[in-house]
Amino acid sequence: MIVEIGHFALVLALCVSLVQGTLPLIGAARGDLAWMETARPSAVVQFGLVALAFLTLFHAFIYSDFSVALVASHSHSLQPTIYKISAVWGNHEGSMVLWVFILALFGAAIAIFGGNLPASLRSRVLAVQGLVGFGFLLFIIVTSNPFLRLDPPALEGANLNPLLQDPGLAFHPPFLYLGYVGFSTAFSFAVAALIEGRVDPAWARWVRPWTLAAWCALTVGIAMGSWWAYYELGWGGWWFWDPVENASFMPWIVGTALLHTAIVVEKRDSMKTWTILLSILTFSLSLIGTFLVRSGVLTSVHAFATDPGRGLFILMLLVVAIGGSLTLYAWRAPMLKGGGLFAPISREGALVLNNLLLTTAFATVFLGTLYPLFLDVLGGSKVSVGPPYFNATFLPLTTPVAVAMVVGPMLAWKRGDLAGALQRLWLAFVAVAVTVVGTIIVMGDKSILAALAMGLAAWVAVGVAVELAERLRLFRAPLGEVWRRARQLPRASYGMSIAHFGVAVFIAGVTASSAWRVEVIATARPGDTLTLADYDFRFLGVRGGDGPNYSYDRGFFEVSRQGQPVALMTPEKRAYIVQSQPTTEAAIHTTFFSDLYAVLGDADGSGSWTVRLYYNPLVPWIWIGCVIMAAGGMVSLSDRRLRIGVPVRRRREPVAAAEATA
Amino acid sequence: MTRKRRRLYVVVLCMTALFSAAALVLTAFEDNLVFFYSPSDLATKGLAGERRIRIGGLVEEGSVLRDGSTTIRFRVTDLQTALPVVFNGILPDLFREGQGVVAEGRMGPNGVFTATEVLAKHDENYMPPEVAEALKKAGHWQDGMAK
C-alpha cells in the first residue's frame, strides 16, 4: 500500500511538473501575473510529491519489503541499516529518483528563497526547471520504475553489490548529484535570461550562489568517489581517467570556469554571452555524464550492468535539452550587449585566460572520453584511451592556470600592472626556488619535473598568502588597521584565498604520491618480512572469521620503522555470502604525510599469500586539498553579497514592485 | 583599447590555445590510443611489438596457473582461439574462470601476451561490451551468457 502511494505520488509529480513547465512560460510571454505565479506553488508541490515517493522507497528498503522488485534485487535482510539506506540509490532506478529529488529540491529552493527575483524571470527559471523535471520523471516512470511489485514476493533479497557496501560510497552519490543536478539552476537561469533577452550584474549575483553551492557539493562528491576507489578497489590509485570518472569531472571543470566568469559579469558587466554558454554547457555535461554512466555505452572499471533501452531514452532527453538550449542561444545571444572594455593585462584578462585554458583542457578530456564511442558508432576499431593521454594533454593545459591563479587576483580590474604584481610576489619566487632545490637535494635529481611541480604548489600557496597579506596591509599598517581590514574584507575574498590554497595542497599531494610512490608485490609466508621504503612489514599470518553478511580472511602485518613499532595492519579478503562475490579490503595506515597501504591477494594453497604493499607519500593531501577547496566555496557562499535573497535589483520593474506588495 | 582590438587579442589567444591543444591531443593520441583485439584477431593478424593493446574474451576453464610467485598464467579465449596471458600482480576480485575479462599489455614475440593491467568489474553480471562483441563475432554468443 505504502509503495503504491509512492508510485502514485511520482505520477502526480509528473503532471505537476508539466504544469510548472508550461503555464508560467505562457504567463510570462503574455505578461499575465496570475499565470506566472503558478510557478512557485507548483515547484513546491512537485518537490513534496517527489519527496513522498522517495520516502516510500526508503520505507520499502529499511523494512526489507521484498515484494518490491527493486528491493528484492538490491537489498538483503541481513544488510546493516546504513547499507539498506544507501541501497536506495545504489541502483539505477533509485539513483534516478534521487536525481529528480535533488532537481525538485533546487526548484523548490528557488521558489521559496527567490522572493525578490523579478516575477517574469523567476517564473521562467522555474518553468525550465519544471521541464527538465518532466523529462526525467517521464524517464523514470516509462523505463525505470522503482515501484514495480513482484508476484509472488521474494523470500530474501539478492544483496547490494558488495563493493557498494562501504561508508565512503554510501554518501558519494547524494553529494555527486547535489553537484551535477545543482548546475541545473545555472542552466535554468541561463535559458530564462535568453528568453528575456537580458543579462545584467544582478543576474550574475543570483546565479552565483546556486552555482557555487553545486560546485562545492560536486567537489566533495568527486573527492569521495576517488577516495573510495583508492581504498576499496585495492590498486592504490586514486584516479584512473576512466570514462565514468571523467563524466563527473567534466562538469566540474566547466563549472569552475563558470564560477570565475560569472564574477566578470557581476563586477564588470562583461563576458555575458560566454557566461550564458558556459551555464548551458555545464548542465549539458551533467546530462551527458548521466547518459554515459547510466547507459553503459563505455567500458569502464566502474561499469555496472545496464539496459540499452534506457540509454536511448536519455539520449533523446539530451538531444532535446542540449539542442534546444543551444538553438535558443544561437538565436538570442547576439541580442545581449557587451559591457565594459578591458586591457589584456587586467583581472578580466586573467579570468579570460583561466576560462580559455579550463575549457580547452575540458575539450581534451571530452575528446579522450568520447572518441572511443564515436569510433565505435562509426564502425571503426575498438579502442580505448588510457591515463597517459589525459596526463599528456590535461596537465600542460592546466599548469598555466595554476601559475596565473596567483597573479590574476593581484591585478586591477580594467588595466593591471603585471610587472608590479610580479615584484610584489618576490616571496613566492623565493619559495619556489627553495622548494625546487630542496626537493632535488632530498629526492635526487631524477625527479626534476616532480620538483618543479612541488615548486608550483609552493608558488600557489605562498602567492595566495602574499595576496591576502597585501589586502590586509599586514606588516605595513598598524595592527589595529590590519584587524579592521580583516573584518571588512568580504567573505568572498577569504573564500577565494582558501579555495586557491586548497589547489596548492592538492597539487602537492598529486605530485608526491605519483612521483615517489613505492610498491612491492610479493608472495609471503607467515613469519616473512618485507621491506618497503624504510618500513618493515612482518607477515604474521591469516585468520578467517565472519562479518554480518560476509566471511573474511584477515591478514596481519606488524609494521615497524627502524625497530620502532608503527602499526598492526589487517587487510581483508571478504566473500559476501549471498552473491559469493569476493572483495578486497585494503588496510591503510595513514599519517598526515603518507599512507602505508596493504592488500591481501590470493593464497597459493601451500601456505603463502600474494601481498601488495604501497608507500604513498602525501596522498592524504589530495583529499584534504579538495575539502579545503570546497570549504573555500562555502565561506564564499556565506558572503552577504551572495546570500540568497539579499541581492536587490537596481532597476525594479513594475511587475516586481507589484509582486513585492502582494 | 577599442572593442575591435580586444576582440583581436581574444581571438589570437583562443587560436593559440586551440592549436596547442590540438597539437597535444594529436601527439598523445598517436602514442596512447589502445586498440582492442580478440584472440582470433590476434591469431590472424599476428601482431607483436611495442604497441600497447587490449585483449578480451573469457578466461578459459582450468587454465589459471600460479607457480608460487606473484606471476599468474591463464588463457583468454573467444571459444575459437585461446591466447596465453601472463600477469604479475594481484588479480581483481571478480576474475574467475569462465568469466569475461579485459587485459591491457603487450604481445610478446613468443605469442604470449604480457598483461600489465587486468580490468576489474564492479558487478558480476557485467560483461565488457568488447568481449560480448568478440564472442558474437566468433559465433559463440548465447543470451544469458552475461550471467
Residue A485 lies in a domain: no
User: Domain containing A149: what range?
Assistant: 1-165
B98 shares contact with chain A (CB less than 8 Å): no
Contacts of B14 in chain A (CB under 8 A): 356
The mean per-residue pLDDT over the stretch A441-468 comes to: 91
Contact (CB<8Å) A344/B66: no
- Whether A427 and A466 have beta carbons less than 8 Å apart is answered as yes
Q: How far, in whole angstroms, is CA A519 from its chain's centroid?
A: 30
Residue A265 lies in a domain: no
Contacts of B95 in chain A (CB under 8 A): none
pLDDT for A660 beyond 60: no
Which of these three, A135, A165, A195, is where a domain ends? A165
| pLDDT score for B39 | 86
The mean per-residue pLDDT over the stretch A588-600 comes to: 92
B96 shares contact with chain A (CB less than 8 Å): no
What is the domain-level CATH number for residue A160?
A: 1.20.120
pLDDT for A466 beyond 60: yes
Contacts of A385 in chain B (CB under 8 A): 29, 32-34
The chain B residue lying nearest A382, using CA atoms, is: B36
- Output the average pLDDT for chain A: 88
The chain B residue lying nearest A343, using CA atoms, is: B1
Partner-chain residue, chosen from B17, B28, B104, that has the shortest CB–CB distance to A356:
B17
Q: What one-character-per-residue DSSP string does A262-316 give?
A: HHHHHHHS--HHHHHHHHHHHHHHHHHHHHHHHH--S--TT-----HHHHHHHHH
Q: Which of A159, A301, A393 to mutate to test the interface with B (most CBs of B within 10 A)?
A: A393
Contact (CB<8Å) B10/A297: no
Per-residue HEC secondary structure of A378-432 comes to CCCCCEEECHHHHHHHHHHHHHHHHHHHHHHHHCCCCCCCHHHHHHHCHHHHHHH
| pLDDT score for B126 | 59
Residue A528 lies in a domain: yes
Per-residue pLDDT of A416-429, as tens digits, reads 889 989 999 999 99
The mean per-residue pLDDT over the stretch A372-394 comes to: 84
The mean per-residue pLDDT over the stretch B75-98 comes to: 85
Confidence bin at A151 (pLDDT 50/70/90): confident
- Output the average pLDDT for chain B: 79
Contact (CB<8Å) B70/A522: yes
Residue A154 lies in a domain: yes
Residue A89 lies in a domain: yes
Contacts of B34 in chain A (CB under 8 A): 383-386
User: Minimum mean pLDDT among A50-54, A398-402, B19-23: which range?
Assistant: B19-23
More confident residue, A399 or B81: A399
Q: Does the interface ipTM go beyond 0.90? A: no
Confidence bin at A300 (pLDDT 50/70/90): low
Which of these three, A165, A185, A214, is where a domain ends? A165
Per-residue pLDDT of A69-128, as tens digits, reads 999 988 888 888 899 998 998 888 898 999 999 999 999 999 998 888 899 999 999 999
pLDDT for A494 beyond 90: yes
B20, three cell numbers: 596547442
Confidence bin at B14 (pLDDT 50/70/90): confident
Contacts of A519 in chain B (CB under 8 A): none
The mean per-residue pLDDT over the stretch A9-27 comes to: 95
| pLDDT score for B147 | 33
The mean per-residue pLDDT over the stretch B49-61 comes to: 83
pLDDT for A655 beyond 60: no
B89 shares contact with chain A (CB less than 8 Å): yes
pLDDT for A271 beyond 60: yes
Distance from CA of A164 to the nearest CA of B (A): 9
| pLDDT score for A144 | 87
- Whether B111 and B95 have beta carbons less than 8 Å apart is answered as no
Distance from CA of B89 to the nearest CA of A (A): 6
Residue with cell 576453464: B61
| pLDDT score for B127 | 66
DSSP helix, strand, coil percent of chain A (3-state; round to 5): 65, 10, 25
Q: Which of A68, A132, A131, A120 is nearest to A94 (CA)?
A: A68
Q: Where are the domains of chain B?
A: 1-32, 35-137
Residue with cell 600474494: A610
| pLDDT score for A306 | 58
Distance from CA of B143 to the nearest CA of A (A): 14
3 state DSSP class of A117: coil
pLDDT for A59 beyond 80: yes
CA pair distance A130, A134, nearest whole angstrom: 6
pLDDT for A523 beyond 80: yes
Confidence bin at A137 (pLDDT 50/70/90): very high
Contacts of A92 in chain B (CB under 8 A): none
pLDDT for A179 beyond 90: yes
Partner-chain residue, chosen from B28, B68, B129, that has the shortest CB–CB distance to A523:
B68
The mean per-residue pLDDT over the stretch A330-340 comes to: 81
More confident residue, A339 or A174: A174
Confidence bin at B1 (pLDDT 50/70/90): low
| pLDDT score for A216 | 96
| pLDDT score for A282 | 96
Please provide the CATH number assigned to the domain covering B35-137: 2.40.50.140
Partner-chain residue, chosen from B29, B104, B123, that has the shortest CB–CB distance to A389:
B29
| pLDDT score for A186 | 95
pLDDT for A647 beyond 50: no
3 state DSSP class of A523: strand
pLDDT for B47 beyond 80: no
User: Can you give the length of chain A in residues?
Assistant: 662
B128 shares contact with chain A (CB less than 8 Å): yes
The mean per-residue pLDDT over the stretch A154-175 comes to: 82
| pLDDT score for B37 | 85
| pLDDT score for B140 | 62
Q: Which of A187, A256, A80, A231 is nearest to A598 (CA)?
A: A231
Contact (CB<8Å) B32/A388: yes
Residue A24 lies in a domain: yes
Residue A599 lies in a domain: yes
Residue A473 DSSP one-character state: T
| pLDDT score for A582 | 79
Looking at chain A, the whole-number percentage of residues with pLDDT higher than 90 is 56
The mean per-residue pLDDT over the stretch A606-624 comes to: 91
Say how many domains are in chain A: 2
